[in-house]
Every structure is written in structure tokens, then in C-alpha cells.
Amino acid sequence: MQLSARNQLKGIVKEISQGPVSTEIILDVNGIEIVSSITTGSAKAMDLKIGDEAYAIVKASSVMIGK
């Protein structure tokens, strides 16, 4: 798979919280947790399981920093 997004972070699925419409996936990326909310249909189609290797792919036109 090739993507235009440059921010591709490889990690391990740490936690899956499935709801009727959306599913929250937590990836462990070198000790940092990345959280994504995807449709439950997509999570099922990908057959995601705890311990699977997966990628967090971030594509954004802007990234804000606050302090």
C-alpha cells in the first residue's frame, strides 16, 4: 500500500473499544499511545486484534500546538 501521507507511525494495537457505530483503537508507538476513532465496520473489515502490527497514518493541513 502506498499513501501520500508522510506521517506513518508503526505500532502495536494495545486496546480496542468497540461500539455499535464507532470503534476506538489505541496503538502503542514506541511507548506513546496514539488513539484513533474509526467506524466499527472498518475495524471489523480489517480484523483488528490486540497485538496486531498497524500504522497510524496522519494527514492534516495544519497542526496546532498549545501551551
**For the chain, what's the residue count?**
67
Of residues 3 and 12, more confidence is placed in 12
Would 47 be classed as within a structural domain?
yes
Would 65 be classed as within a structural domain?
no
Q: What was the pLDDT predicted at 32?
A: 95
CA-CA distances (angstroms) from residue 18 to 11, 24, 33, 53, 67? 19, 6, 17, 18, 32
CA dist., res. 10 & res. 50, Å (int): 14
Cell readout for 23 is 470503534
Would 39 be classed as within a structural domain?
yes
Does residue 61 surpass a pLDDT of 80?
Answer: no
pLDDT digits (tens, 9 = 90+) for 5-37: 788 899 999 999 999 999 999 999 999 999 999
Domain hosting 13: range is 7-52
Q: 22, 44 in Cβ contact below 8 A?
A: no
**CB neighbours of 3 closer than 8 A, spacing ≥ 6?**
57
CATH code of 16's domain: 2.40.50.100
Count of domains in the chain?
A: 1
Would 66 be classed as within a structural domain?
no
Would 61 be classed as within a structural domain?
no
